[in-house]
Amino acid sequence: MAVKRIGVLTGGGDCPGLNAVIRAVVKTAINDHGWEVMGIEDGFLGIIRNRMHPLTMTDTSNILTQGGTILGTSNKADPANFKVGIDEEGKPVFEDVTARCVEHIAARELDVIVCIGGDGTMSGASHLVTTGIRCIGVPKTIDNDLMHTEVTFGFNTAVETATEALDRIHTTASSHHRVMLVEMMGRNAGWLTLHAGAASGADVILLPEIPYDLDVVCDYCKMRSKRGKAFTIIAVAEGAKPIGGEVVIDQIVVDSPDPIRLGGVSTHLARQIEQKTRLECRATVLGHVQRGGTPSAFDRVLATQFGFHATELIASEQFDRLVVMQESQLSSVPITEVADQQRTVELNDPLIRACQAIGVSFGTKDL
């Protein structure tokens, strides 16, 4: 069947560069192929509730530099496990509403769905693929943790944002002679913390992949103090945890397919370090500021390339694939190969080795 109309959605957490992808998909689809494009509102929620609207060249004009997503997004709408109500005990009730999604896609006469998102979105897309819905994935996440792609758009901007924050923390840490902890996103993957920590010259970098030893961290801070270094900067991922310990949970969102929300490890660590070292400590949680703002030039270019390549896959009838960057070249892999998986930092990563060589501590003796 010839493609005539495609849908495009943005799922999961928002991210710099989403609008750049939407712009590239819509303009290439209309200019090069004459397809109609439907914008699906709020990720998979738009399919579940049949909320879609046409996207035109005018709709996507002047959005390249705009943060967020003009389509909206949701990280709670999973077609296979969607909240439909609350039971008598006040607990959420979930159902598989995939059949409803298939009906809405057929009613809108959508031939292909372009799904822009991270591992959760690709898991949802993979589920739709099993029903016969044709999908194309575009990799998005500031965590840079999708399998089979060297980079995701949004990561570069988030690194720049976090690096700038760390740079600013440096000046106040130096002025007040404090140990300053800066907490960044990254539940299971420490790419953002590793790169921002390296770029800003952080003294300690704590990653989810490398459980830390509190005594090692404290000894490092005291060693710097004895050597005349009046401050220490610690870059810590929200998913960092001590050896044999657990992550710090901020809250549990019961109506979400992914209910656990991490946060607060920096505050917890600051209290512990202060008690053991008698050094004054302060913690800063960057939070959602890492997702916001205008995308960097790198991410605008990458997002445009990804969006264009997504339409090329559709035109060549290579369906159910994820656009990826491998060895600095655009390529694609089956969406099913990235669903429910995450790419984490390996212990022999070259950047870890480089940081160790210049004296950065990763909070452990055994690395």
Catalytic residues: 143
Sheet holding 321-326, edge to edge: 52-54, 36-40, 5-10, 112-117, 135-139, 321-326, 329-334
Q: For the chain, give percent helix, strand, coil, nearest 5.
A: 35, 20, 40
DSSP 143-192: T---TT-S--BTHHHHHHHHHHHHHHHHHHHHHHT-EEEEEE--SS--HH
* Cβ 238 vs Cβ 288: under 8 Å: no
* Cβ 13 vs Cβ 120: under 8 Å: no
* Cβ 144 vs Cβ 196: under 8 Å: no
Cα separation, 169 vs 100, whole angstroms = 50
Using alpha carbons, select from 24, 186, 202, 191 the residue that is nearest to residue 116. Answer: 24
Write down how long the chain is.
Answer: 367
Cα 115 to its chain centre, rounded Å, is 15
Characterise 81 by phi-psi region: left (phi > 0), alpha (psi -120 to 50), beta (else). Answer: beta
Cα separation, 275 vs 270, whole angstroms = 9
Q: Which parts of the chain are beta strand (E)?
A: 5-10, 36-40, 52-54, 82-86, 92-95, 112-117, 135-139, 179-184, 204-206, 232-237, 249-252, 260-262, 281-285, 321-326, 329-334
Instruction: Give me the phi and psi of 36, to 5 degrees please.
Output: -85, 150
Task: Measure CA of the first residue to CA of the last residue in the chain; give whole Å.
Answer: 55
Return all residues near 316 (Cβ < 8 A) that are at least 6 apart: none
